[in-house]
Structure 1
Amino acid sequence: MIKQLKRVDLPEDLCWWFHPELHSIDPMTTCDEERGYTTEEWELLQVNGNIDIVIDTSVDLEEIDPNANGEWKGYTPTPPSPEHFLIAAFDTEHWDQAVLWWAKERLSLSVQQSLKEVS
């Protein structure tokens, strides 16, 4: 298992794209869109990759895929901050928006403790 999920180059078509190392940190070995993650599984996913994940559903699918043909070629999403990197991009039957998972590396526990001591 990897200890830190890192930024990777994105493909030309982001439709149903997942970070190539996501499977190695994901406690759900098979995707069950109907069930989703439990709170514990979601936290374990983030702990396993040493990341914090922000989910963005603010992008309308019509903007990315106006013909509804399942291609997102040329779409370049904007991260919530320069520190965030994309780890998943997909759509669902439940929303008319794209679902983007943005990750940000967690600070190590020693760094977190040091910051607490300074503040």
Structure 2
Amino acid sequence: MRLYNKSIKVTTVKKEDSQRLLDDLLGQESRPSDFRGQLGEDDAEAFKWILKAIKAQSKISLAELDLLFEADYGDDIRAVWPVRGVTRTDLDPLITEYATKNFKETLAEAVSWHLVGLKLPK
């Protein structure tokens, strides 16, 4: 469990950052898919998590956001944009990427490594 917990980093895209990204998006002329490429690393990561939240909550993809943007339907984009902070889970695999799926897979991967003689992290 400890090894799994060390692999999972839960953080939040702050409400203020989400609102700033929305204002920046609607205040420029690039579609959301192009806007993402104009962002710095931290904002691009936050934008990615915002898009995941929109897709999970409203079933609207990035391509569909592009269509809303091109039709000048900013109010519709505002309606689906998260108004609270967005929880994000960053994975920092200590064994394998698959081991970050859940703690049972961490245990299975650890046993697998042990059986083939690979050294596990402390």
TM-score bin, normalised by smaller chain: 0.3 to 0.5
TM-score scaled by length of structure 1:
0.32
Structure having the higher helix fraction is: 2
Structure having the higher strand fraction is: 1
Of structures 1 and 2, the one with the larger relative CO (CA 8 A, separation 6+) is 2
TM-score scaled by length of structure 2:
0.32
